[in-house]
Structure 1
């Protein structure tokens, strides 16, 4: 893509004239801008990568600006794709008459990946330290400070736990606070290494402050891990174990460490999520969306 926003918009228009596609599927806010700022005869399906105006850290003024932009762009949108009921509600709040359809997300880790990358021995073997993992970019949306607060509480309570952040930051300096507080930051990993890092985990704890629907939670479900998430709007309607504060998270993690029954219960929820957010359902829903766009 060219460097400037205007040149990217024009490059998109040229590509449509050249390729003459049946459908344009735009994913994320920037793609949504490039494809919808100017009208086109080709139906545009817009799939936000989280609505930015849903970010609790943004000021009221910026939220209003982003909401206004999304409203204007919605008039050049054939269908808005929502990953969750919350996202669908946000889309309809912009302009009640617009078409919104659901699309289940799917994990990046498949059954064939597990066969290829995991040893034939039992997947979750015994280890010395109870390990808590989070996957994502070290960025405000993922709220690394919340994750670190849980690690601080565990350390103050004398828990010899290993906290692991799987992922990295755009700048290495942004990872320094996590490392200073005793958290292992892996940096970005290839799939085999990601699976290996999750395999050594006893529990997956998602610390983000807002989401669309995180792939990392689905990957943890694909790995059959107990999952703990924050009480976020994106998880409404999903039967997951949710917490509100760092202290709540610590207590839940302590229950995972101590109680086999609690582990089994959380793994059952993980399997149910993996079944609901499956490739089969994703394929059927996507076919329906494209069929509706072409109708």
Structure 2
């Protein structure tokens, strides 16, 4: 139906025009259009709805993976006549353990919380010593070709050695289990930091060094103003790799050296044939390692360039 407007002679004299009546639904459309259009004729942007599809794609895959793991675990438990505890029994045991994680009834009978803290303390000391030595060494090796030629064969020879092979040397030199474990963390953490830092220094654009040479900058200013900002992404990558390796090694080292620690706790539970606690310890080790990795990723993305954040 077409709505027409007829002008009478009275309209020319200032009276109101006489219009035909438009359908009610057509008037509603005009009113809605008037509300969604500005005075200049531009339409206001519509508010986007919630991205449910993105939420599903973010949450659903991890849940499916976790469900697959629990399903396989339950099938293995049934097929082994419950020699491997079921997920339900293990969860009940975990509730009991974490209801009081910091109890202490003796030197070899302590809660899982104390064992985790002791392992983290060893990792922090060994990793800190490795960073204090490895990062400056990486700068020097990457900066000076003579040092690079001198140390590259040594690094290539010692880096593939299993970290646990260094544990007897630590026991022989330090005469104690705790410093030997820290020594093992140190020796396995130092190589990723040296190598990644040296590679970062060697990949600094030569134009930067030419400008520094023209400006006659001191070696300290070259390191702090040119090398350090450029090498930081590589250095943080080495730090991440070193922390992951250190957390892997400390568990095995504590199994061999004894004392308080998450690795010793696993071995002690095996001696007691408590498989539930061993499975719980596996999940605890994985969660702590995941937290360390996530924390270092956040630190790396805060101090590196945009192309490194991905």
Same fold (TM over 0.5): no
Shorter-chain TM-score range: under 0.3
Identify the structure with the greater strand proportion.
Answer: 1
TM-score, normalising length from structure 1? 0.25
TM-score, normalising length from structure 2? 0.24
